[in-house]
Amino acid sequence: MRIIFSTPEPRFAGKPLTVVRHGSARRMRLRVDPRDGSVRLTLPRRASLRHAFAWVEEQRAWVEDQLARRDAGTRLTPGMTLEVAGKALTLAAAEPGRRIVRQDGDRLLIPGDADLFEARAVRWLKAEAKRVLEVETRLLAEKAGVSVARVSVGDTRSRWGSCSASGDIRYSWRLILAPDFVRRSTVAHEVAHRVHMNHGPAFKALERMLLGESPSAARAWLRANGVRLHGYGRS
């Protein structure tokens, strides 16, 4: 059972901090929601609210930086260079007469009118994310000795990945813009859920075995850079 309530302090961008006490929480966690800019603090059930607020104030600079990144957004424009599946790709307008987006060495050539440039770039990135994540998911599923039904991508903002009881796995397409170790950590996490639909010790052991290392660095990277990823393609 979760207890959810809001408190007037601290405040960020005029909004109160949302505090959640969760029986399974073992430590304090702070998150900026890329959907609406709300700031959420998750606490163990018996944690001191006074101490938690003091800790939140210590994180204020980080929170305000995340909010600033969310508000700014990042347009996908000609000349921009993105890290795509660990490789630097520069977005470029294709020569007249081309009809499809195509990769040419370290360039991604995008045809058509200028006002369609960003939408076509995002469409290609989603397809590339689906291709890469499907391959990596099925390879790790084979390693874990489990089956996976459908692998898909979407523009989810609350979770980087999810696994259903029926074996469907869904990812945020924006993982294709994260470093390889971050993307693969998310894949290992979701494949491990095909065996354990919880976050207990057995799940964590399998997750680490599939990844070959601790997932803590990947989680830290997403915590620091997740809002920036969500800003791509949003003016």
pLDDT score recorded for residue 64: 85
Per 3-state DSSP, the chain is made up of helix, strand and coil in percentages (nearest 5) of 40, 25, 30
Map tokens 């939140």 to a residue: 56
Write out the H or E segment, with its range, that includes residue 22.
strand 15-22
pLDDT score recorded for residue 158: 73
Query: CA neighbours within 13 Å on the CB side: how many for 77?
Result: 5
pLDDT score recorded for residue 5: 46
pLDDT score recorded for residue 10: 86
pLDDT score recorded for residue 4: 47
111 close to 102: Cβ distance less than 8 angstroms: no
Strand pairing partners for 47? Answer: none
CA 125 to chain CA mean position, Å = 15
Biggest distance spanned by C-alpha atoms of the chain: 65
String of DSSP letters for 43-65: EETT--HHHHHHHHHHTHHHHHH
Q: In sequence order, which residues have a C-beta less than 8 Å from that of residue 207 and are 6 or more positions away? A: 188, 189, 192, 215
For the chain of 235 residues, list the mean pLDDT of each consecutive stretch of 10. Answer: 53 84 84 80 87 90 81 84 96 86 95 92 97 98 97 89 96 97 98 95 97 96 88 77
Alpha-carbon distance values, 92 to 76, 101, 119 (Å): 10, 10, 13
Query: Which one-letter DSSP state was computed for residue 232?
Result: B
pLDDT score recorded for residue 96: 77
pLDDT score recorded for residue 25: 80
Strand pairing partners for 29? Answer: 42
pLDDT score recorded for residue 132: 98
Residue 206 identity (one-letter amino acid)? L
User: Cα–Cα distance between 26 and 204 in angstroms, integer?
Assistant: 15
